[in-house]
A and B are shown apart, each in its own frame.
Chain A
């Protein structure tokens, strides 16, 4: 496997869904008949012109863009609509976005082959597709106008949704919508030359489409779904991972007013009630005896001790060139560092929830579905229906950070089982509480990385790392993507460096632990980025080199990382006076998901040595910057998310049981801890790459490297503030 393959590995992993799921379970003719496929057909509602699966033009000039990616804050509603509006030269005030239905044939992620969102691919895989969808709509509207006006189509221009001819004729989209709908759809409509873009890459050319509804309480999330006769479902799940229901007594639970039923399902015991509160009280009153025979009982400290021992032995090679061991033996000095990363919960503001209505013959599921194809199939299979009898509507979701992209489809399964267990005709809304969320597993894996670096003649001559942790892919639908014993998501960022070091090795021990793990915003880079960027900083310091100049000297073969690093150094210099009065700066640069981000953090020591981060400068190269302000927002948010977890995040296990339960014990970054952030987006003509995740990895090591300059040392065990637990 080449380094390039590894970098794209998660996409490849997700791509596996296509072969594993669609090919087997979703015959194409079924799609055409599904309710989902009907949803975009012309002739209903205000949509008069539907040139393709992505664009609807109404007689009222409204351009509605169907978004195949879930919107949970990262901005695909605005981003994908921008691509369509650009090619149509639409009036942005008339542009709307809504989620596309679940339909793998029409709405697959081109990077996966199945419908789903992840790996920061939304813009990257849609860039040409959505522009073409807009260009086709434009060509047909122009043709309709040309026929109506009896002029050559080539003489018609469009500006902000108004078609114009030099003769003075003009008209809006809506006027030509009906006529356009009768024209043939062009197979390969011409795309604009990027030099003529009016929206793409133009700062503040578009406002987010979802800001107003998310500021006045009208945005509809899954938890807001209400239907007559709907029951709220909470599930009592085992306190240890791998535990099972031995027996339960539901007498007291059933006595709680509002509780309607109690049923055992695969994941535990489901309580059905008239609302959330009675369901919660019912669950509290339920007595379950758990069978912990097969449960994981180790504590975090025990796992860390085992991982540390493993890290002293060579693992399976994940990347190597030269001979790291020989070079370490020849070195004048060898520096060792061991980094320990805890389990982390994603804790999106809206905990997992879903709605399902089923009459025995057809079903409608509505929730924040992130891997629609797999979830659609899972629900259909459990309910014993063919996929065309199941509609899946994607809802706005209150965050995800990876939590809704489940390699096991466990939430969709629990939702379908909840509905099935109580029988047809009872719509259910399954809700996880915050405690369910934080104690529910699917964490960022606990990891230990041991690094050794060899120094000679003032240079870094050898680099060796051993990584120890659980695999996300193992035992899942995507297991086939593990190649030669390496789960690429375990070592991404560690098995290939932007730094030219002659003798290099990265290896991996994959551990067996009964705690379910999952990709967590920036995946492997969430830990490898910290370890690598702390370690290189430490080696540069040991050889008396400047952290920026020293990195740049190693980056001769890495022009894009070098460019963001130079840019952030320049930005931090320009932005104000240097470190003063007990403040120091630290730097880090990480490539992830094809985007390059460098950050500098200015830090002081608050009480008890707890770092206080005052300001962060951030330089990003994500290829063509489609929506600069969305990119800026993702950098700000990524920095806050990364910082909060580096400082405080820890789901410690005590004899297998998660210790934190809610935001009182799983400390989240709050406004007074958020640094000022200044972002520069580097101009680029490269293909656009993602921004949802890449802002996260550099902030932790940038803070740690600043702490070293304050004399506090680089924390080797996260979280940095450990008394929080």
Chain B
């Protein structure tokens, strides 16, 4: 075990874990932030998506030793106008079914809109195709992203 200082949602957490522990398990088991979900463990499903210095990343495949001083943002720390627009659109379209993948979907959607305020269908495909939803809520995910883009005036 070794000690790491990880900055999550603007707060520094000191955690005592093995160097190869993925960020996902540091968040969930060491820090207690459970909004970020485990789905596959091999960066295939996107349920564990967080931001590292603002960029979306699969936390299940990033060892804690590689984080350094980077800023981690999880669904619990998500804020700003894109986040509000996305979460409002998600609720008003009733996007979630089981809901388990949706933290990751929301993170990916917010990242997309921050970079591309008025995304095309192809932009949405490219930004969201790393996030699996086994309930297949994709029709509503697409619609909600477009709603959020309109809200943001994109």
Chain A residues near B20 (CB-CB < 8 A): 277, 281
Chain B residues near A610 (CB-CB < 8 A): none
Residue A378 is within 8 A (CB to CB) of chain B in the complex:
no
Chain B residues near A31 (CB-CB < 8 A): none
Beyond A72-B98, A347-B134, A671-B125, is A433–B41 a contact (Cβ under 8 Å)? yes
**B135 and A641 contacting across the interface, CB-CB below 8 Å:** yes
Chain A residues near B38 (CB-CB < 8 A): 223, 276, 351
Chain A residues near B25 (CB-CB < 8 A): 275-277
Determine which of A212, A216, A396, A677 lies in contact with B139 in the assembled complex, contact meaning CB atoms within 8 Å. A677
Chain B residues near A434 (CB-CB < 8 A): 39-42, 45
**A633 and B74 contacting across the interface, CB-CB below 8 Å:** no
Beyond A215-B87, A223-B34, A637-B136, is A671–B128 a contact (Cβ under 8 Å)? yes
- Please provide the chain B residues from 106 to 122 with a CB less than 8 Å away from any CB of chain A in the complex: 106
| Nearest chain B CB to A226 CB, angstrom units | 6
Rounded to whole angstroms, the CA-CA distance of A641 and B106 in the bound complex is 21
Q: Which of B87, B133, B137, B142 has the most CB of A within 10 A?
A: B133
Nearest CB in chain A to that of B39: its residue: A349
Rounded to whole angstroms, the CA-CA distance of A632 and B42 in the bound complex is 32
| Nearest chain A CB to B98 CB, angstrom units | 3
Residue A663 is within 8 A (CB to CB) of chain B in the complex:
yes
Chain A residues near B101 (CB-CB < 8 A): 349, 398
- Please provide the chain A residues from 199 to 242 with a CB less than 8 Å away from any CB of chain B in the complex: 207-208, 210-221, 223-224, 226, 232
Beyond A637-B136, A672-B129, is A663–B44 a contact (Cβ under 8 Å)? yes
- A interface SS class: loop
Nearest CB in chain A to that of B121: its residue: A672
Chain B residues near A637 (CB-CB < 8 A): 97, 135-137
- Please provide the chain A residues from 419 to 448 with a CB less than 8 Å away from any CB of chain B in the complex: 433-434
**A278 and B18 contacting across the interface, CB-CB below 8 Å:** yes
Rounded to whole angstroms, the CA-CA distance of A633 and B18 in the bound complex is 43
- Please provide the chain B residues from 67 to 115 with a CB less than 8 Å away from any CB of chain A in the complex: 74-76, 78, 87, 90-92, 94-103, 106
Chain A residues near B134 (CB-CB < 8 A): 347-349, 399, 401, 641, 668
| Nearest chain A CB to B65 CB, angstrom units | 13
| Nearest chain B CB to A282 CB, angstrom units | 11
**B100 and A672 contacting across the interface, CB-CB below 8 Å:** no
Determine which of A277, A281, A663 lies in contact with B29 in the assembled complex, contact meaning CB atoms within 8 Å. A277
Beyond A275-B25, A349-B45, A662-B44, is A217–B96 a contact (Cβ under 8 Å)? no
Beyond A73-B99, A74-B97, A210-B99, is A349–B47 a contact (Cβ under 8 Å)? yes
Residue B55 is within 8 A (CB to CB) of chain A in the complex:
no
Determine which of B1, B28, B95, B138 lies in contact with A211 in the assembled complex, contact meaning CB atoms within 8 Å. B95
Residue A59 is within 8 A (CB to CB) of chain B in the complex:
no
Chain B residues near A258 (CB-CB < 8 A): 1, 18
Residue B36 is within 8 A (CB to CB) of chain A in the complex:
yes
Determine the interface band of chain B, counting residues with CB < 8 A from chain A. 35 or more
Rounded to whole angstroms, the CA-CA distance of A668 and B40 in the bound complex is 12
Contact indicator per residue, chain B 1-35, by CB within 8 Å of chain A (1) or not (0) = 10000000000000001101110010011101011
- Please provide the chain A residues from 642 to 679 with a CB less than 8 Å away from any CB of chain B in the complex: 643-644, 662-664, 668-672, 674, 676-677
Chain B residues near A398 (CB-CB < 8 A): 37, 98-101
Residue B141 is within 8 A (CB to CB) of chain A in the complex:
yes
**B136 and A217 contacting across the interface, CB-CB below 8 Å:** no
Rounded to whole angstroms, the CA-CA distance of A281 and B25 in the bound complex is 13
Residue A629 is within 8 A (CB to CB) of chain B in the complex:
yes
Beyond A223-B37, A257-B18, A662-B42, is A349–B133 a contact (Cβ under 8 Å)? yes
Residue A350 is within 8 A (CB to CB) of chain B in the complex:
yes
**A674 and B29 contacting across the interface, CB-CB below 8 Å:** no
| Nearest chain A CB to B28 CB, angstrom units | 7
Beyond A216-B35, A662-B42, A670-B129, is A277–B22 a contact (Cβ under 8 Å)? yes
Residue A694 is within 8 A (CB to CB) of chain B in the complex:
no
| Nearest chain B CB to A339 CB, angstrom units | 24
Nearest CB in chain B to that of A674: its residue: B138
Residue B131 is within 8 A (CB to CB) of chain A in the complex:
yes
Contact indicator per residue, chain A 69-102, by CB within 8 Å of chain B (1) or not (0) = 0001111000000000000000000000000000
Nearest CB in chain A to that of B137: its residue: A637
Q: Which of B40, B74, B96 has the most CB of A within 10 A?
A: B40
**B140 and A636 contacting across the interface, CB-CB below 8 Å:** yes
**A73 and B98 contacting across the interface, CB-CB below 8 Å:** yes
Chain A residues near B62 (CB-CB < 8 A): none
Chain A residues near B97 (CB-CB < 8 A): 73-75, 399, 633, 637
Chain A residues near B35 (CB-CB < 8 A): 216-218
Residue A639 is within 8 A (CB to CB) of chain B in the complex:
yes
Contact indicator per residue, chain A 41-80, by CB within 8 Å of chain B (1) or not (0) = 0000000000000000000000000000000111100000
Nearest CB in chain B to that of A216: its residue: B87
Q: Which of B34, B75, B124 has the most CB of A within 10 A?
A: B34
Chain A residues near B152 (CB-CB < 8 A): none
**B136 and A211 contacting across the interface, CB-CB below 8 Å:** no
Rounded to whole angstroms, the CA-CA distance of A434 and B90 in the bound complex is 27
Nearest CB in chain A to that of B45: its residue: A663
Chain B residues near A473 (CB-CB < 8 A): none
**B90 and A215 contacting across the interface, CB-CB below 8 Å:** yes
| Nearest chain A CB to B129 CB, angstrom units | 5
Top-4 shortest CB links A-B: A640-B136, A217-B35, A398-B100, A214-B99
Given contacts A217-B76, A396-B99, A670-B138, 4 further A-B contacts (CB under 8 A): A218-B35, A350-B39, A629-B94, A671-B129
Q: What is A's interface to B at a CB cutoff of 8 Å?
A: 72-75, 207-208, 210-221, 223-224, 226, 232, 257-258, 274-278, 281, 347-351, 396-401, 433-434, 629-630, 633, 636-641, 643-644, 662-664, 668-672, 674, 676-677
Q: What is B's interface to A at a CB cutoff of 8 Å?
A: 1, 17-18, 20-22, 25, 28-30, 32, 34-42, 44-45, 47, 74-76, 78, 87, 90-92, 94-103, 106, 124-125, 128-129, 131-142
A-B contact pairs, 16 of them (CB 8 A): A214-B99, A216-B87, A217-B74, A217-B103, A220-B34, A257-B18, A275-B29, A276-B28, A434-B39, A636-B136, A640-B133, A640-B138, A640-B139, A663-B44, A668-B134, A671-B141
